[in-house]
């Protein structure tokens, strides 16, 4: 008697469950230290000490009724104010507390933003490959996901002509994710400028604004000289969905926000509606204690250098073995071209080496695999011989 | 450019906002101690000390990556196991961890349960008056809310004949809320038995099961000899949505669960689908640290006696002044018959005495008002003269 709507998702889930069970069995047979699990995007550096210090201090010195109590559905005023000021310092903007709506992580921030704007039958554009949940989130509101295929140049930057063709009168929004899951690509400023130009032109053409929903959980995870432009500086109708899951290593705590800049279309109405959406989708408000804790930790950061070293080691090791990989610029994912046309075959061969990775088709990016390198450094080093053996089977040319 | 769907909600919100602004202005003029705000259901007793002790201990002694990390979307195994065992001790049941899916409070538990079963056009039955958000939650899935009018006897127990008439082939579920918001009524065992009987018969008649979704955030808030029956003992297809908001005074923390008993229809599929629903609606998982904290505090309880004293004092005071009130048996709401046919007139007169209450029509219960007595005891005592003056204006007979 479950919903028709949920049945395909339950069916899909059993495949993932099967993978998970296989991994567990493998660990029992060869020992967990000999299984190289790169399948999950679960941060593995601890939260900065400042977070637990803040929590303890709040519990010892503040009124428990306030600390654990309801506040405005948009969040504590002091938290929103601190975030606005932090953004203003970093980006030279002029945000106020009102522009920030606290949410239960980026997942709920995206649901809040989408609920605010979507009616059944509306369309939302995404660039393939993309985080699989977008389709589910958009589907929550009975709207359609419109995929733009990757550029043929293998850069995994957005295909601008494909974008133009994807826009219809039903287009309400586009979701942009840079640094990107699953590719690790960071869109440079020129790309953001181009995107903004096209979206402005297309909005004009279809007679209503297209919101750019910027999903930014990896904003602080960038390496080398990569920089993440502040998209509202380039396109007025930008809505930012942010999470502290990665920057403060708090993924389980469900804490993030929706940022609605004043320059965005109907911003006042959007803010009111998003605040109500927070309530209606059942979250009511972002968890209270952790809101107060992050208010004091906006300058803290989890150990990003750890991920950078992991990404570099993996990229170097796989490139030497002959694999064709995108250089990791951000997030904690390496996007690797499959030497097999059917990447699930490649995934199967890696599994024989006890290496678990995700096939690109899970992200609408067939022909590639995603390696999550938020794992112990040793896992990476110890997995390289297995990757090399598989490369040899495919007769890849070592470099 | 916000969704058509959200527009009426934004419009409705401005009324509430207006009330809130009026209250703030009132406080500025006469002083906050002279404003008697009974409009919100915000617990005002502190969380038990055991909760903050548990949090501090966890932060000091457990691995931060685990404490703040992702876990199964259904929640930490140890938390779910502890809750199952706690229920088994109290109700003589045989629940396992698998039956419990942690969620971000009852609001998200209800959304998870409804997403699991509802397709557009389905119907969910509620007994008026009822918590306003139910309609929004059901509307999230483009399903219809079917209201059963109150019994004419003024008991605010469910009208069983009305229930029978409300069932159609599209009926997927009924939401039951006892102890009740807004009436404070607790359904006795005989009523639960009757309900179960009718739902079983009607399920048979329409050819598919009707889920009874039991919304139980006030389960522990009962007074005198009132008892809350464990509904799955009476009706197999019961899904419980629980929250620690009131029993542990943690409303801002967003922590609760969905309980899916094995005896319920398609229980395995329901559990899988509800776990996926947790993820898809964007919560992903209930906040992690607070999950671990409540695991250690299931025996603790906020100071319920405080609410009982408040309710009793208010009931006695208003009854003496001539008002017709339902005796408070549970939750922290007093349901009072309006001496004016149009209860918003009555609400207006109370406002002149700086007493803020919610009109029953906000709960589909016109002709009544709801007084939330989760306020300082002094607020209750000091408001009574104002209630008496209004009673005199209506020439109510004092007792």
pLDDT in tens, B81-107: 999 999 999 999 999 999 999 999 999
Question: Taking 80 as the threshold, does the pLDDT of residue A399 lie above it?
Answer: no
Work out the widest C-alpha separation in chain A, in whole angstroms.
Answer: 66
Residue numbers in A near B63 (CB within 8 A): 46
Q: What is the pLDDT of residue A41?
A: 83
A290–B289 C-beta distance less than 8 A: yes
- The values of phi and psi at residue B54, to 5°, are -65, -45
Residue A122's closest CA among A69, A170, A166?
A170
Strands (E), B34-149: 36-37, 100-103, 123-127, 144-148
A107/B288 CB distance under 8 A: no
Q: Say how far apart CA B174 and CA B146 lie, in whole Å.
A: 9
How close A327 gets to chain B, by Cα (Å)? 27
Q: Which residues of A touch B70 (CB under 8 A)?
A: 40, 42, 251-252
Say if A348 falls within a structural domain: yes
CA distance linking residue B368 with residue B363, whole number of Å: 10
Nearest CA distance, A325 vs chain B (angstrom): 28
Vertex A205 angle, CA A204 and A209, to 5°: 45
Distances (CA, A) of A344 to A251, A349, A372, B95, B391: 29, 9, 17, 39, 76
- Residues B262, B325: one domain? no
What does the pLDDT look like over A136-157, one tens digit per residue? 999 999 999 999 999 999 999 9
State the pLDDT at residue A86.
Answer: 98
Residue of B nearest to A58 (CA): B52
Query: Is A398 inside any structural domain?
Result: no
The answer on pLDDT for B16 being more than 70 is: no
pLDDT in tens, A253-272: 999 999 999 999 999 999 99
Under a CB-based contact definition with an 8 Å cutoff, are residues A396 and A339 in contact? yes
Q: Is a pLDDT exceeding 80 seen at residue B399? A: no
CB contact under 8 Å between B115 and A269, yes or no, is no
Looking at the fold, whether B251 and B263 belong to one and the same domain comes out as yes
Same domain, B232 and B152: yes
Whether B203 and B321 share a structural domain: no
Given a cut of 90, is residue A378 above it in pLDDT? yes
Provide the mean pLDDT of chain B: 95
Number of domains in chain B: 2
pLDDT digits (tens, 9 = 90+) for B342-394: 999 999 999 999 999 999 999 999 999 999 999 999 999 999 999 999 999 99
Check CB contact under 8 Å for A290 and B285: no
Provide the pLDDT confidence category of residue B23 given band limits of 50, 70 and 90.
confident
A117 pLDDT band, cuts 50/70/90, is: very high
Q: Phi/psi of residue A126, each to 5°?
A: -135, 150
Decide if pLDDT at A61 tops 80: yes
Task: Check residue B14 and give its pLDDT.
Answer: 67
Q: What is the pLDDT of residues B204-214, one digit of tens each?
A: 999 999 999 99
B9 touches chain A (CB under 8 A): yes
Q: Is B71–A252 a contact, with Cβ atoms under 8 angstroms apart?
A: yes
Dihedral over alpha carbons B17, B21, B24, B26 (to 10 degrees): -130
pLDDT value for A20: 74
B397 band by pLDDT with thresholds 50, 70 and 90: confident
Distance between CA atoms of A333 and A38, rounded to whole angstroms? 9
Task: List Cβ neighbours of A342 (8 Å cut-off, separation of 6 or more).
Answer: none
Of residues A22 and A274, more confidently modeled: A274
Looking at the fold, whether B172 and B246 belong to one and the same domain comes out as yes
Q: Choose the final residue of a domain: A295, A314, A348.
A: A295
For residue B399, is it within any domain? Answer: no
Is-cis flag, bond preceding B179, omega within 30?
yes
CA angle, B99 then B101 then B107, to 5°: 130
Do B105 and B169 share a domain, yes or no?
A: yes
B199 shares its domain with B339: no
Euclidean distance between CA atoms A389 and B256, whole angstroms: 48
Share of chain B above pLDDT 90, in %: 91
- pLDDT beyond 70 at A15: no
Check whether B15 has a pLDDT greater than 70.
no
Q: Do B107 and A266 touch (CB under 8 A)?
A: no
Contact A208, A170 (CB under 8 A): no
| Residues of chain B neighbouring A297 (CB-CB closer than 8 A) | none
B242 assigned to some structural domain: yes
User: Taking a C-beta distance cutoff of 8 angstroms, is the pair B338, B346 a contact?
Assistant: yes
Domain-embedded: residue A136: yes
Which residues of chain B neighbour A209 with C-beta distances below 8 Å? 1
B277: contact with A, CB 8 A cutoff: yes
Q: Is A285 on the interface with B (CB under 8 A)?
A: yes
- B298 interfacial to chain A (CB closer than 8 Å): no
Is 80 exceeded by the pLDDT of residue B20?
no
Q: Which residues contact B286 (CB under 8 A, 6 or more apart)?
A: A254, B75, B102, B103, B104, B108, B254, B255, B256, B257, B278
Contact A104 B104 (CB under 8 A): yes
Sole residue written with tokens 């101690």: B33
- Mean pLDDT, residues B126-146 taken together: 96
Asked if residue B327 and residue B234 are part of one domain, the reply reads no
Residues B63 and B26 reside in one and the same domain: no
- Residue B141 included in any domain: yes
Q: Give the 3-state secondary structure of residue B212.
A: strand
A 349-378 → B contacts, CB under 8 A:
none
In this structure, the answer to whether residues A243 and A105 fall within a common structural domain is: yes
Question: pLDDT-based confidence at B125, cuts 50/70/90?
Answer: very high
Contact present, A236 and A265 (Cβ < 8 Å): yes
Q: Which of A295, A320, A348 is the last residue of a domain?
A: A295
State which residues form the domain around B335: 4-47+302-393
CATH of the domain at B317: 3.90.1150.10
Picking from A236, A261, A295, the residue at the C-terminal end of a domain is: A295
Closest A-chain CA to B253: A287
Whether residue B3 and residue A111 make contact (CB cut-off 8 A), yes or no, is no
Express each pLDDT in A96-114 by its tens digit.
999 999 999 999 999 999 9
Cβ atoms within 10 Å, residue B399 = 9
B290: left (phi over 0), alpha (psi -120 to 50) or beta: alpha
N-terminal to C-terminal alpha carbon distance within chain A: 56
Q: How far is B118 from chain A (nearest CA, A)?
A: 5
* Residues of chain A neighbouring B64 (CB-CB closer than 8 A): 46-47, 52, 249
pLDDT of B260 higher than 90: yes
**What is the structure's pLDDT at A23?**
82
Interchain contact, B64 vs A43, CB within 8 Å: no
Residues from chain B that touch A65, judged by Cβ atoms under 8 A, are 43-46, 249
> Based on the domain organization, do B235 and B331 belong to the same domain?
no
pLDDT class of B251 with cuts at 50, 70, 90:
very high
Q: pLDDT per residue over A309-365, tens digit each?
A: 999 999 999 999 999 999 999 999 999 999 999 999 999 999 999 999 999 999 999
Q: How far is B172 from chain A (nearest CA, A)?
A: 8
Q: Chain A: nearest CA to B347, how far in angstroms? A: 24
Verify whether the Cβ–Cβ distance A65 to B55 is below 8 Å: no
A-chain residues near B285 (CB < 8 A) = 252, 254
Instruction: Calculate how close chain A gets to B161, using CA atoms only, in Å.
Output: 25
Q: What is the mean pLDDT of residues B155-166?
A: 98
Would you say residue B259 lies in a domain? yes
What per-residue confidence (pLDDT) applies to A144?
98
Residue of B nearest to A112 (CA): B282
Query: Chain B residue closest to A208 (CA)?
Result: B1
Residue B126 lies in a domain: yes
Q: Are residues B255 and B360 in the same domain?
A: no
Tell me the percentage of chain A whose pLDDT exceeds 90: 91
Q: Which of residues 55-94 of A touch B (CB under 8 A)?
A: 55-56, 59-60, 63-65, 67-71
Q: What is the CATH number of the domain that holds B253?
A: 3.40.640.10
**Average pLDDT across chain A, whole number:** 95
Q: B111 and A142: CB-CB below 8 Å?
A: no
Q: What is the pLDDT of residues B304-342, one digit of tens each?
A: 999 999 999 999 999 999 999 999 999 999 999 999 999
């Amino acid at each position: 008697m479950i919903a028709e709507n949920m049945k395909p998702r339950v069916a899909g889930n059993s495949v993932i469950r099967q993978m998970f069970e296989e991994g567990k069995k493998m660990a029992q047979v060869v020992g967990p230290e000999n299984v190289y699990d790169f399948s999950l995007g679960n941060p593995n550096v601890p939260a900065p000490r400042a977070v637990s210090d803040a929590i303890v201090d709040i519990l010892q010195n503040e009124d428990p009724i306030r600390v654990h109590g309801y506040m405005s559905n948009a969040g504590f005023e002091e938290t929103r104010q601190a975030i606005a000021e932090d953004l203003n310092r970093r980006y030279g903007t002029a945000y106020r507390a009102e522009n920030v709506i606290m949410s239960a992580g980026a997942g709920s921030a995206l649901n809040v933003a989408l609920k605010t704007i979507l009616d059944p039958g509306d369309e939302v554009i995404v660039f393939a490959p993309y985080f699989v949940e977008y389709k589910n989130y958009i589907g929550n509101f009975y709207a359609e996901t419109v995929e733009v295929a990757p550029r043929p140049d293998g850069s995994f930057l957005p295909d601008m002509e494909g974008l133009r063709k994807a826009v219809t009168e039903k287009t309400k929004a586009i979701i942009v994710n840079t640094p990107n899951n699953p590719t690790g690509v960071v869109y440079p400023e020129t790309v953001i400028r181009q995107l903004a130009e096209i979206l402005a032109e297309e909005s004009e053409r279809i007679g209503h604004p297209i919101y750019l929903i910027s999903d930014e959980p990896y904003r602080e995870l960038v390496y080398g000289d990569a920089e993440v432009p502040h998209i509202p500086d380039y396109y007025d109708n930008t809505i930012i969905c942010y999470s502290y899951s990665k920057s403060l290593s708090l993924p389980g705590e469900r804490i993030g926000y929706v940022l609605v800049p004043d320059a965005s279309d109907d911003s006042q109405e959007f803010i009111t509606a998003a605040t109500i959406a927070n309530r209606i989708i059942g979250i009511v408000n972002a968890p209270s204690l952790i809101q107060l804790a992050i208010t004091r930790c906006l300058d803290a950061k989890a150990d990003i250098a750890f991920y950078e070293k992991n990404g570099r080691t993996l990229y170097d090791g796989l490139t030497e073995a002959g694999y064709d990989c995108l250089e990791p610029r951000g997030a904690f994912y390496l996007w690797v071209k499959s030497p097999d046309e059917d990447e699930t075959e490649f995934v199967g061969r890696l599994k024989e080496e006890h290496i678990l990775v995700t096939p690109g088709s899970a992200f609408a990016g067939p022909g590639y695999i995603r390696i999550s390198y938020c794992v112990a450094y040793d896992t990476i080093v110890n997995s390289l011989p297995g990757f090399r053996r598989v490369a040899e089977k495919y007769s890849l040319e070592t470099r």
